[in-house]
């Protein structure tokens, strides 16, 4: 009997140890692969964005005749190159997939060649004029296209790495299930008193692994959707820009046509920059709040009002600033601006075409929190959509206002990271009210 009890105990101890080992392996291996792939996609996307900016700025340079404007473009090029170097430095430690290092070296080589080409274009334009610079720019375009394909290959490689991680998870699950069933079969021979307890323990481990695998699958699906949507939006925004050099060459003697094309390039460039800035804000929003963060609410509201003035004038909106307490909030000043700008900017844009166009911003303290309210007289938000508006890229039916689709998701991440909360109240067709609670902070000494 004692030997039987010892065998049963040893059997279940073995099963428990096996489950623990598999769980640790699952956690360290699968999560590492997944997180590395996510970070790699983010940095390669950032690099691709900077490459696009360099190409756009080179095109802008050869369209300029004002030395001051040309100098401004060169300064922007220097800033973009500096950001690209930072992105490459952040990406380098993440390289671990087979063939990834080879492709990344090829991308760096192509980027260096693109830089040399852009440098030549700028020099030629100063010395020989637009025609020769345009001829050299066509060669630069070929380098740019090859680099764009190489960066796209890096994104696909990392997405494949995430898929491979999910495959390993599936393999691990199958092996775990085999081990569990082997344990069950062996346990049947000595299950008289301990069978129920053993089966329940096995089921518990199985549920844990299944739940964790499902969570990783959902995260991988979100990564695919996120990367696909970003790529889709950027490609749509860049499409007219890519076609513009050809159209400009055809319209070289048609000043009105050139002005129209230039306006289109400017609008598309603004759209690309808006997408990139929104993505950067979305990425920063999830960072852990610093202990000494502090932002004056009154100053943030004043800056916001000045920033929104052109948009307010464009849509003929009445903006009312209610009582604003002289308090500091536990939030980075830049991120507090992102919160207010998204909420108030959305309110103004969605008033387009409304008979009454009014936005009200107010705030008051509630204990150790500050309550900020943004109300509007817009079209409202349908009940079934109010739980989804904070999801990245979700846009309600019939939405006409321009935007990236991640503004409210960014606000939610900023607020959640600081132990705050945000709610929306709206009756369809009767305006909306967004309420944000953020903790108070001590004023800087």
Domain CATH number, residue 424: 3.30.565.10
Q: In this structure, is residue 64 part of a structural domain?
A: yes
Q: What CA–CA distance (Å, rounded) separates 373 from 425?
A: 11
Contact assessment for residue 430 and residue 380, using Cβ atoms and an 8 Å cutoff: yes
Do 195 and 338 lie in a common domain? no
Q: How much is the pLDDT for 92? A: 85
Q: Give, in degrees to the nearest 5, the angle at Cα 41 between 40 and 45.
A: 115
Do 224 and 313 lie in a common domain? no
Q: What CA–CA distance (Å, rounded) separates 344 from 351?
A: 11
Contact assessment for residue 426 and residue 380, using Cβ atoms and an 8 Å cutoff: yes
Per-residue tens of pLDDT for the chain, all 445 residues: 556 556 666 655 665 565 566 556 555 776 777 788 878 888 888 888 888 887 788 777 777 777 787 788 778 888 888 888 888 888 888 888 888 888 888 888 888 888 888 877 788 877 777 777 777 777 777 877 888 888 888 888 888 877 777 777 677 677 777 866 777 687 666 666 666 676 677 778 787 777 777 766 655 554 454 555 555 455 555 656 666 676 666 766 777 777 777 776 776 675 566 556 555 655 655 566 677 889 999 999 999 999 888 889 988 999 999 999 999 999 888 889 889 999 999 899 888 888 899 999 999 999 999 999 999 998 888 888 888 888 876 666 545 555 556 788 889 988 998 889 999 998 766 789 999 999 998 877 6
E strand or H helix at 252: none
Do 77 and 220 lie in a common domain? yes
Q: In this structure, is residue 80 part of a structural domain?
A: yes
Q: In this structure, is residue 54 part of a structural domain?
A: yes
Q: What CA–CA distance (Å, rounded) separates 395 from 403?
A: 9
Do 311 and 353 lie in a common domain? yes
Q: How much is the pLDDT for 66? A: 77
- Counted domains in the chain: 2
Do 39 and 73 lie in a common domain? yes
Domain limit, last residue, from 226, 257, 285: 285
Domain range for 368: 295-441
Q: In this structure, is residue 135 part of a structural domain?
A: yes
Chain Cα centroid distance, residue 246: 32
Do 230 and 329 lie in a common domain? no
Contact assessment for residue 118 and residue 58, using Cβ atoms and an 8 Å cutoff: yes
Do 131 and 188 lie in a common domain? yes
Domain limit, last residue, from 238, 264, 285: 285
The strand pair at 328-329 and 318-321 is best described as unpaired
Q: How much is the pLDDT for 371? A: 97
Q: In this structure, is residue 290 part of a structural domain?
A: no
Do 103 and 46 lie in a common domain? yes
Do 300 and 166 lie in a common domain? no
Do 214 and 158 lie in a common domain? yes
Domain limit, last residue, from 234, 267, 285: 285
Do 251 and 344 lie in a common domain? no
Q: What CA–CA distance (Å, rounded) separates 143 from 146?
A: 5
SS3 308: helix
Residues in the chain: 445
Q: In this structure, is residue 89 part of a structural domain?
A: yes
Q: In this structure, is residue 44 part of a structural domain?
A: yes
Q: How much is the pLDDT for 274? A: 52
Q: How much is the pLDDT for 232? A: 47
Q: In this structure, is residue 191 part of a structural domain?
A: yes
Q: How much is the pLDDT for 5? A: 53
Do 268 and 299 lie in a common domain? no
């Amino acid at each position: 009997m004692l030997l039987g009890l010892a065998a049963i105990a040893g059997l279940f101890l073995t099963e428990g140890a096996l489950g623990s080992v598999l769980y640790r392996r699952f956690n360290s291996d699968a999560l590492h692969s997944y997180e590395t792939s996510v970070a790699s996609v983010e940095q390669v996307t950032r690099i691709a964005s900077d490459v696009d900016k360099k190409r756009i700025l080179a095109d802008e340079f050869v369209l300029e005749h004002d030395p001051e404007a040309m100098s401004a473009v060169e300064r922007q090029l220097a800033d973009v190159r500096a950001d690209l170097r930072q992105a490459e430095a952040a990406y380098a430690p993440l390289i671990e997939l087979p063939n990834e290092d080879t492709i990344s070296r090829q991308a760096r080589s192509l980027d260096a060649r693109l830089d040399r080409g852009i440098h030549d274009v700028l020099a030629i334009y100063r010395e020989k004029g637009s025609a020769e610079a345009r001829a050299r720019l066509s060669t630069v375009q070929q380098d740019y296209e090859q680099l764009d394909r190489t960066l796209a290959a890096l994104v696909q490689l990392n997405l494949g790495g995430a898929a491979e991680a999910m495959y390993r998870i599936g393999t691990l699950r199958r092996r775990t299930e085999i081990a569990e069933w082997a344990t069950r079969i062996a346990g049947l021979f000595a299950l008289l008193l301990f069978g129920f307890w053993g089966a329940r323990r096995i089921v518990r481990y199985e549920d844990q692994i299944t739940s964790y695998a499902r969570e990783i699958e959902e995260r991988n699906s979100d990564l695919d959707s996120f990367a696909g949507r970003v790529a889709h939006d950027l490609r749509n925004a860049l499409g007219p820009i890519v076609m513009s050099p050809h159209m400009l060459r055809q319209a070289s003697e048609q000043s009105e046509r050139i002005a129209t094309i230039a306006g289109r390039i400017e609008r598309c460039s603004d759209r690309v920059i808006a997408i990139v800035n929104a993505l950067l804000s979305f990425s920063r929003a999830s960072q852990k709040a610093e202990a000494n963060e502090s932002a004056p609410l009154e100053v943030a509201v004043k800056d916001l009002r000045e920033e929104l003035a052109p948009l307010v004038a464009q849509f003929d909106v009445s903006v009312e600033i209610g009582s604003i307490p002289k308090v500091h909030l536990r939030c980075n000043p830049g991120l507090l601006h992102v919160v207010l700008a998204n909420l108030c900017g959305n309110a103004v844009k969605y008033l387009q075409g409304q008979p009454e166009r009014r936005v009200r911003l107010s705030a008051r303290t509630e204990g150790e929190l500050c309550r900020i309210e943004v109300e509007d007289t817009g079209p409202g938000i349908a009940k079934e959509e109010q739980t989804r508006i904070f999801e990245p890229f979700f846009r309600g039916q019939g939405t006409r206002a321009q935007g990236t689709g991640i503004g409210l998701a960014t606000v939610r991440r900023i607020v959640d990271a600081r132990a705050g909360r945000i709610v929306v109240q709206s009756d369809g067709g009767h305006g909306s009210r967004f309420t944000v609670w953020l903790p108070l902070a001590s004023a800087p000494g």
